[in-house]
Structure 1
Amino acid sequence: MQPFRKPFQLDPVFPFELVLQGVRRYETELPDHLHDLYELVYVHDGQGTFFIDGSLYEKKAGDLFLIPGNTVHRAFPSSGDPIVSTALFFAPSLVHAESLDDGHHPLRCFERARKSKQHKAELTQPARLAVEAAIEAIAGELQTAAAGYRHAVKLHLQQLLLALSRLPMHEEAPRSDLLPGPKWVHDALRTIDLDPVRCGGLKELASAACVSAPHFSRVFKQMTGMNVTDYVGAKRLVAAKERLLSTDDNVEAIANDCGFLGLPHFYQAFKKLTGMTPRGYRLQSRLEPKE
């Protein structure tokens, strides 16, 4: 039986989801499944077992599990003592960053887990308290949604991943293997981030990477959780939102400058992402009280 591919409906600009202290019962758990997103699972209470990539792990309070994207897994909570756990889901593109050549990458802990086939992190009591504090901080930012909350969530997540990457492991990966995915996909992400208007589409990006378009598309989706068109479009919308808030340029000029095919296309894409029109978004921001 093929594993079930779990779908997600995430904001392409902020591909992150938190399931805080969910109660996991045997009868409601998914069968063997996988997804493109990376997943961190922290157990607050209860007990059971966890099947991840062909191995079974004991699951109890204080345990933390690292599940890289597209890894088959399944939980088996105890029927008499259901699991209470927090799960953090995110696309690798949310935390991708330039290498500073110090042996670290935000997804290092996941890549070590994949290579060593050891998906359960051994946490000391201080490490458990740090994980719980990070989860609490992320949940608080998402609940209040104050200005900059997404940046705060990303920073808390990156700090958590850094702490996990420093945990001792039975098998250290060579430094050249720490970056998940080939170098060309990181180059493509950087190209899009720097200039989402002139970066080109799938054909141009694949050509620059010297790989076929189908292969580029497949690897890109594994890294970002979305296809090239949606990712580039999301980045263009971010640029358009900044122009709407920081200038008095008319909406049509902004649409054209940010790479949209006229006003109808811009309005449709903007409303799908934000739930309002570009003019409505600009007006609302100017009516909000300034602190």
Structure 2
Amino acid sequence: MNPMPKRRFSDDPLFPFDIVHRDTKSPETELPDHLHDRYEIVYIHQGKGTFFIDQSFFEMRPGDLFVIPGNTIHRAFPDGVDRITSTAVFFAPPLLRQPALGDGYACMRIFEQARREHRYRLPGTPSAEIERLLDAIQKELRDQASGYRQAVLLELHRLLLALNRMTGPAARRDAEEEVKRVGPHWMQEMLRHIDRHPGGELSLSSLSERAAVTPAHFSRVFKQLTGMNVTAYVNAKRIAYAKEQLVASDDSVDVIATRSGYESLPHFHRMFKQLSGQTPAAFKRSRTMRADQARADRIQID
């Protein structure tokens, strides 16, 4: 299996932030499927297309916003004629580390909600406020005046505040209604099945049997709709699940590997390193260090 291509980010550990500003895409230039730790905000300036995120397909239209938590499989399919122009913001959550101020607000709530409810799209109309914030971030990064990183961080907080205020009950209902029905019903069911059972039997033969279609047909339709082959998609879902387990539990790596659907520990290590750039142990250490630092910061502030 060919390794899943990974997006290249700036490697500054003190400022884990990137932006691709007002970029016009076509089916030929769109980046391939990817899985990364950065959290992502995508705003559609113009054009149309389809966005595959996690297990669902969404329309892309001017004014639409997508919030994508880290380690969420996604790929855009821009229209070949009405090309997409979009801005994408990428950041690591530790960049926004801050104490709770007692009013119940959490800037990362919108991402937690998206992951929990599988609703990644905020439908809307072109927003002058959102575009102003994105343009301001781009200008600060371009000019690099004194304090530009602090300015970017402030604008990012303003952007997240605006998005969180947009996600009331009505907006969530609209987002649910706007999920695009793409492909046959059995494909939708299989995507949900993989998401719910990442450690289960998910070979092409077992999935096609469950869907009551031939393996060749299953493979062809899956690739056509998601842009990925079945094996690459399943491995990405399993490694994303393993990352969650490594952070959330004290279980050993071999237990988590088995729970994630890998009978061979060397194969698990190989796939984890291939898709994340780290070994499972190194990943867990880095996340533990971040959590310890966050706790220390809170204690110091209190």
Deviation at 1:5, TM superposition (A): 3.5
Question: How large is the RMSD of aligned CA atoms in angstroms?
Answer: 2.9
Contact 2:10/2:17 (8 A) holds in 1 = no
Q: What is the letter of the counterpart of residue 164 of structure 1?
A: L
Offset of 1:43 from its aligned partner?
Answer: 0.7
C-alpha separation in 1, matches of 2:59 and 2:96: 29
* Separation (CA, whole Å) in 1 of partners of 2:52 and 2:42: 13
Q: Secondary structure of 1:28's partner?
A: coil
User: How many residue pairs end up in the alignment?
Assistant: 187
Structure 1: 4+ residue segments shifted above 4 A: 212-215
Aligned counterparts of 2:288 and 2:31: Cα–Cα separation in 1: 26
- Give the aligned partner of residue 88 of structure 1: 89
- Paired with 1:74 and 1:220, the residues of 2 have a C-alpha distance of 30
2:89 maps to a residue whose letter is: L
Quote the offset at 1:105 in angstroms: 1.5
- After superposition, what is the alpha-carbon deviation per residue over 1:243-270, rounded to whole angstroms, capped at 9, x for unaligned? xxxxxxxxxxxxxxxxxxxxxxxxxxxx
Residue identity in the other structure for 1:160: L
Q: Which amino acid aligns with 2:285?
A: S
Gaps of 5+ in 1: 172-180, 186-211, 232-291
Cα distance change, pair 22–160 in 1 and its aligned pair in 2 (3 A): same
Closer, same or farther in 2 for the Cα pair 1:68/1:26, shift >3 Å?
same
1: CA distance, partners of 2:52 / 2:4: 12
CA displacement, residues 151-187 of structure 1 (integer Å, 9 cap, x when unaligned): 011001011101111221438xxxxxxxxx99x99xx
Q: How does 1:60-79 map to 2 (within 5 A)?
A: 60-79=61-80
> Could you tell me how far apart the structure 2 residues matched to 1:215 and 1:129 are?
39
Please say if 1:162 is aligned against 2:230.
Answer: no
Q: TM-score, normalised by structure 1?
A: 0.58
Deviation at 1:3, TM superposition (A): 4.5
Unaligned stretches of 5+ in structure 2?
Answer: 174-243, 249-279, 294-302
Contact map agreement 1:38 1:67 (CA 8 A) in 2: yes
Tell me, in whole angstroms, the C-alpha distance in 2 between the residues paired with 1:8 and 1:214: 19
Residue pair 1:21, 1:84 contacting (<8 A) in 2 also? yes
1:219 equivalent in structure 2: 287
Contact 1:21/1:44 (<8 A) preserved: yes
CA distance in 1, matches of 2:283, 2:68: 23
1:166-214 CA deviation, whole Å, 9 max, x = no partner? 221438xxxxxxxxx99x99xxxxxxxxxxxxxxxxxxxxxxxxxx966
CA distance in 1, matches of 2:283, 2:41: 27
**In 1, Cα distance between equivalents of 2:89 and 2:283:** 28
Is 1:115 equivalent to 2:116 in the alignment? yes
- The superposition leaves residues 41-73 of structure 1 with CA deviations (integer Å, 9 ceiling, x where unpaired) of 111111100000110000011111001101000
How far apart, CA to CA, are the structure 2 residues paired with 1:89 and 1:34?
A: 12
Q: Which whole-Å deviations, capped at 9, do the CAs of 1:218-252 have from their partners, x for residues lacking one?
A: 6359x79xxx9xx9xxxxxxxxxxxxxxxxxxxxx
1:124 Cα shift? 5.4
Structure 2 equivalent of residue 281 of structure 1: none
What's the offset of the Cα at 1:142?
A: 1.3
Amino acid at match of 1:59: M
- Kept in 1, the 8 Å contact 2:41–2:68? The answer is yes
Task: Give the structure 2 partner of residue 136 of structure 1.
Answer: 135
1:28 deviates by 2.0
Instruction: Provide the rounded CA distance (Å) in 2 between the counterparts of 1:78 and 1:215.
Output: 37
Contact residue 10 and residue 16 of structure 1 kept, 8 A: no
Q: Who is 1:24 aligned against? A: 25
Q: Report the secondary structure of 2:28's partner residue.
A: helix
Which residue of structure 2 aligns with residue 152 of structure 1? Answer: 151
TM-score normalised to structure 2 length:
0.56
Q: Residue 5 of structure 1 corresponds to which residue in structure 2?
A: 6
Amino acid across the alignment from 1:154: L
Q: 1:78 to 1:105 in 2, by over 3 A?
A: same
Partner of 2:52: 51
Closer, same or farther in 2 for the Cα pair 1:214/1:147, shift >3 Å? closer
1:74, 1:215 → 2: CA distance?
24
